[in-house]
Amino acid sequence: MANEAAPTEGDESLGEGAEQPDPTTLTPDPEATWKRRIAGKDQALTATKKEAESLKAQLADYQRKVAAYEQANLSEVERLQLQIASLTAEKEAASTEAARLRLQGKFPLSFTTLGELMPLDEAALAEIESRLSALKGEEEEPVIDRNNPRRSSPNAPKPPSAMSADELEKSLAAMGNPYRDLGFGASSQ
């Protein structure tokens, strides 16, 4: 056997009759095994998600085709009845929203507290509003209409750009000079 490799120092411990372990049958690294398994499952999950998306797209396409077919087979009376039903539903939704907005303006504490759970019964909202205002402990603030903004008070000072020179001098003199005590602003005459 001329092709046999010369034994190395590590081979002596195995003895003459012992066989060398096959490097491919060594115990695999457990971390690498888990990584391969997870990668395989990720690939399977991705493929399943893609298949589900394509099936959903097919279902939506079939539903559109069925709706178009049914729409084509409807008589004019049936089409108008469907149109009336959809317009009635839109009208009901709009009137409900308008009533909710009207009550929101009338009972602001109830709306901020209850939000979307607010009932549309005016008597119940009045009772809730009175309880909440009693808990708040403050006087009721006037309701501000969004379409009618607040007006400025008559005693509000004029902005400096609207003042004349004499009025501006008087307002500056009334403010005083906080740096006068430090020696700034004193007359240098």
Q: Give per-residue pLDDT as tens, 34-72.
A: 888 888 888 999 999 999 999 999 999 999 999 888 888
Residue 185 vs residue 73, higher pLDDT = 73
Whole-angstrom distance, CA of residue 59 vs CA of residue 64 = 9
Quick count: other Cβ atoms within 10 Å of Cβ 187?
Answer: 4
C-beta of residue 48 within 8 angstroms of C-beta of residue 40 = no
- From residue 128, alpha-carbon distances to 111, 132, 142, 189 in Å are 10, 6, 18, 71
Q: pTM for the full model?
A: 0.36
Q: CA-to-CA distance for 82 and 89, rounded, in angstroms? A: 11
pLDDT tens string 7-35: 555 444 555 555 665 555 566 788 888 88
